[in-house]
Amino acid sequence: MIGVFDSGIGGLTVLKALMESIPDYDFIYFGDTARAPYGSKSPKTVITCTLQNIEFLVNLGAKVVVLACHTVASLATDSVSARYDMPIFDVITPAVKHAIKTSRYQRIGIIGTRATTMSAAYEKKIHAENPNAKVYSAACPLLVPLIEESWHKKPETRMIVKKCLHPFKVRQIDTLILGCSYYGLLTRMIRTKIGKRVSLIDPSSCLADVVKAFLARHREVDELLSKNSYLRLILSDLTPQIEKLAGTILQRNVRIEAGGP
Ligand code: DGL
């Protein structure tokens, strides 16, 4: 199985892209809803929770792990990679490569949680590929709770999105990375506010392309993965609100188990 991990249910946007890209594969998803949000936590807490959760997924049979949470990918990728001798994919790296390829003037913006922004993980990865790129990032901590309240189409959210994007308009970016697993749900709103001339990078589809290409190249890994189009969803805390939003993100009826490490 391919294990997909997120702090909560935002990573279902990544799971959805993966299931569309490689529909035959079996997936196990774990969202740590009991301890989310991670975006306002310290690096130490994010790393500790992540290692416990990846161990949980590995014990349930994950042979490949996807870090679908940008906060986790920013802070804990090295710790997870150091501990496990298996393919680990983080949601940031493919987005960075795609942004650099897409951006005409190498003026790239990133929006994300406070923890992602403070880690400067995106900046470091972009500058490792192109030291001359101009990179601007902004934390938008209000967006996650608004989405979790299913307010992602409300005018109040539109106002906050506009405020979050203002610094990027001033800096004339030509490419914007949606650096949080939930922000894909705001794509239309962000598109309207940032304007047509800015390319939006959706990290979930970039990651799905990379995983698909990797499995095609690495038969020895591919052979370890079961392919019955099976999906197991586990959350560490389950409420009707979360269950409803999970169904909305995946656009299908879902059965979710409560559990965790
Ligand atoms: N999953 C987180 C991310 O992609 C957002 C939610 C949280 O802060 O836990 O950064």
Sorted by where each begins, the domain ranges of the chain are 2-90+205-258, 92-203
State the pLDDT at residue 244. 93
Cα–Cα distances in Å, from 185 out to 16, 144, 191? Answer: 12, 10, 11
**How far is the centre of ligand 1, averaged over its atoms, from the C-alpha of 37 (Å)?**
6
The protein residue with its alpha carbon nearest to ligand 1, atom 2, reads: 69
**How far is the centre of ligand 1, averaged over its atoms, from the C-alpha of 220 (Å)?**
32
Among 13, 142, 180, 242, say which to mutate for ligand 1: greatest number of ligand atoms within 8 Å of CB: 180
State the pLDDT at residue 139. 97
Q: Per residue in 79-130, pLDDT tens?
A: 999 999 999 999 999 999 999 999 999 999 999 999 999 999 999 999 999 9
Domain 2-90+205-258 and domain 92-203 have a common topology: yes
Mean pLDDT, residues 29-34:
98
Q: Which CATH class is domain 92-203?
A: alpha beta
180 is catalytic: yes
Q: Per residue in 193-243, pLDDT tens?
A: 999 999 999 999 999 999 999 999 999 999 999 999 999 999 999 999 999
180 lines ligand 1 (CB under 6 A): yes
Task: Check residue 24 and report its DSSP letter.
Answer: T
State the pLDDT at residue 227. 98
Mean pLDDT, residues 145-152:
92
Mean pLDDT, residues 49-68:
98
Among 181, 186, 236, 242, say which to mutate for ligand 1: greatest number of ligand atoms within 8 Å of CB: 181
37 lines ligand 1 (CB under 6 A): yes
**CA 91, 93, 98: angle at the middle one, nearest 5?**
105
Measured from the Cβ of residue 121, the count of other Cβ atoms closer than 10 Å reads: 25
Q: Which CATH class is domain 2-90+205-258?
A: alpha beta
